[in-house]
Amino acid sequence: MVLLIKKFDDFILEFVQDNMRRPIMDKIMTFITALGNGGTLWIAIALYLIFYRGYKLTGIAVLMTLIVSTIFGEGIVKHVVRRVRPCNCKNNVQLLISKPISYSFPSGHTFSSFAVAGVLSAQFSEYKMIFLLIASLIAFSRLYLCVHYPTDIISGAVFGLLCAKLMILFFNCDYFQTNMLNIFNTNINLH
């Protein structure tokens, strides 16, 4: 099974590197991946929501989701699995970004992006496809830049969506609704 996963990862990664790398794509993917660095895009959206009347709690939900996904992905799973990144295993890789120092599995950019996209999609369902497209582009940029394997990306997306579901349940639970809504004096209905 492990050998099959390795063959799948190598095939997809080499296909992307051999067939999709172009100077314009290099610039686009470098920019897109930077949106996910440290949750930059998601923090900006959260701050906008916090200071925009009526969406304060949604902004806080986004920030908390980002924190939880980072703790779980970067702080726990990566240190349990300890998978070496493809850019550290392959000699002929020309990195377009600084070499990441953490482990590869799962992709933290993908994990946090899908987690936040899931929470935002629950609140703003009319923009669901946009949130998921942004998360998918950030995920693909990590593969394109050869800092993650496809299974790192896939697992990051799955973990992220599961994290989103758990955070939505938390934000909709009676305890949270009773105590936090009094503090923030606002309403939220995450589906």
So what's the pLDDT on residue 174? 59
Q: Distance (Å, rounded) from C-alpha 91 to C-alpha 167? A: 40
* Residue 165: strand, helix, or coil: helix
Token pair, residue 71, equals 């703790």
User: What's the pTM value of the predicted model, to 2 decimals?
Assistant: 0.86
Q: Residue 191: what pLDDT? A: 44
Positions in the chain short of pLDDT 50: 186-188, 191
Task: Tell me, letter by letter, the H, E, C secondary structure of 78-127.
Answer: HHHHCCCCHHHHCCCCCCCCCCCCCCCCCCHHHHHHHHHHHHHHHHCHHH
Q: What is the DSSP letter of 72?
A: I
